[in-house]
Amino acid sequence: MGGSFIRRVRLDEPSTGRYPFTLPVVRWLAESEGLDLRAGVTFLIGENGAGKSTLVEAIAVAAGFNPEGGSQDFRFATRATESSLGDYLTLSRGIGKPRTGFFLRAESYYNVATEIERLGHDSIQHYGGRSPHERSHGESFLDLVTHRFGPNGLYILDEPEAALSVRGCLALVARMADLAQQDCQLIVATHSPILLSLPGAAILEVGEDGAIERVDFDSALPVRLTREFLAEPDRYLRHLLA
């Protein structure tokens, strides 16, 4: 299920020798034949610093989205913190084009919400009829994916669980399943084992050496570590607090 608007991500340009080309995952991408993406929902996971958010951001920029987030029509900027990687990526696209799309970054959604508010009433109607600043962070996230995300869309999300409760994550799983049924493609960087439970999704794990490989739900790092901790929290805490 789901659309297939981006089929492969390649890095064909030579390294500059500076960040982000020093990241192992970027070196892996340069040395490999590229990263294949499937239709529907693809999760990208890995430890902090693995480079998954940098890669997701670069894919969004290469696809034409505003680096701070928003739709392809958003062109505001508050502070440029994005890497240059998006300028070097080549995206192999599917036959069809997405009808709509959005890049959601948890860390800069406040800036996106401010831009939505600046655009006025007509824009706010597409986000549930209320300014995101009048809702909690998590509520505004769910308003966005419920009211703004529609069929035949390309949606790139960077750690959307950052604003969500457990119930909010479950609601997002249900919404992502709906979107996949509506011929959408979603590329999501996440640490959430709840989001990873989405049936039929592809899970791509970035290893310490930067290599990206597909794993199943039970083998995914966030799932394994969460299960181990919940099974024996005292053992983990004795080690951490010693």
Angle between helices 24-31 and 52-62 (to 10 degrees): 50
Write the single-letter amino acid at 74: F
Residue that is written with structure tokens 């948890």 in the block: 106
Q: What is the pTM of this model?
A: 0.89
- Tell me whether strands 212-215 and 202-206 are parallel, antiparallel or unpaired: antiparallel
Query: Which among 98, 43, 34 is positioned nearest to 71, based on CA atoms?
Result: 98
pLDDT in tens, 57-106: 999 999 999 888 777 776 555 555 567 899 999 999 998 899 999 998 87
Which domains can be identified in the chain, with CATH numbers? Answer: 6-217 (3.40.50.11940)
Indicate the length of the chain as a whole number.
242
Strands 6-11, 35-36: pairing is antiparallel
Q: Which residues contact 81 (CB under 8 A, 6 or more apart)?
A: none
Phi, psi dihedrals of residue 138, rounded to the nearest 5°: -65, -40
Q: Comparing C-alpha atoms, which of 195, 91, 99, 83 is closest to residue 152?
A: 99
Q: Are 4 and 185 in contact (CB under 8 A)?
A: yes
CA distance 26 to 210: 7
Tens digit of each residue's pLDDT, the chain (242 residues)? 667 899 999 998 777 788 899 999 999 999 999 999 999 999 999 999 999 999 999 999 999 998 887 777 765 555 555 678 999 999 999 988 999 999 988 765 656 666 666 665 456 666 666 655 556 767 888 888 998 899 999 999 999 999 899 999 999 999 999 999 999 999 999 999 999 999 999 999 999 999 999 999 999 999 999 999 999 999 999 989 98
Distance between terminal CA atoms of the chain? 48
